[in-house]
């Protein structure tokens, strides 16, 4: 029994050392990285050189930051401001520019994108058609994005908004509003 406890303790220590080394490597690859940045096990980051992360940001387990540099387009930019929390299994796909302001709460399984697949050529499957961006995405400070929400390209969500679970945001939401539905519609103002 003591042997098994020793082996388990050793494995835990090795995993912590590996995790620390992975975090240090990721920090060095990011465009910029603030203090107290935390990314949990299983999260993936592609092209960290296009990502700026501020202080006190948490990216939970199995989240995916997918940066997609498009041929002939300007460099993509993902900016995540201070105090933002990104939930489990969230996906952020950026080919143009996505700005997430301070203290944004992004729930589990949220999808945020500024890029779409082309589908206009009937002779090609969608998977072989080019990607394109129709505009940037901005999420204002203090906003809460509910579980399962999709935020589509060319959308600005204002400050201190609440986006209800499973909403699909296809249009701008002004400051201090609650929106829900697919497509998302404003259901009330926060007074």
Counting runs of H as helices and runs of E as strands, what totals does the chain give?
1, 22
In the chain, where the domains are located: 31-189
What is the dotted CATH code of the domain comprising 31-189?
A: 2.160.10.10
pLDDT tens digits, one per residue of 128-182? 998 889 999 999 999 999 999 999 999 999 999 999 999 999 999 999 999 999 9
pLDDT tens digits, one per residue of 78-124? 999 999 999 999 999 999 999 999 999 999 999 999 999 889 899 99
Confidence (pTM): 0.89
């Amino acid at each position: 029994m003591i042997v098994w406890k020793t082996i388990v303790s050793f494995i835990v220590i090795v995993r912590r050392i590996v995790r620390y080394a992975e975090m240090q490597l990721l920090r060095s690859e990011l465009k910029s990285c603030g203090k107290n940045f935390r990314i949990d096990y299983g999260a993936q980051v592609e092209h960290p050189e296009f990502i700026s992360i501020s202080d006190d940001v948490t990216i939970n387990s199995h989240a995916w930051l997918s940066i997609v540099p498009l041929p002939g387009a300007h460099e993509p930019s993902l900016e995540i401001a201070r105090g933002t929390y990104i939930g489990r299994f969230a996906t952020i796909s950026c080919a143009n520019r996505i700005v997430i302001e301070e203290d944004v709460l992004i729930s589990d399984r949220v999808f945020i994108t500024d890029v779409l697949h082309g589908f206009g050529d009937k002779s090609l499957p969608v998977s072989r058609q080019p990607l394109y961006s129709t505009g940037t995405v901005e999420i204002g400070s203090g906003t809460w994005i509910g579980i399962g929400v999709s935020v589509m390209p060319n959308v600005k969500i204002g400050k201190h908004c609440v986006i209800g679970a499973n909403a699909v945001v296809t249009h701008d939401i002004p400051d201090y509003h609650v929106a829900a539905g697919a497509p998302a519609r404003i259901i009330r103002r926060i007074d």
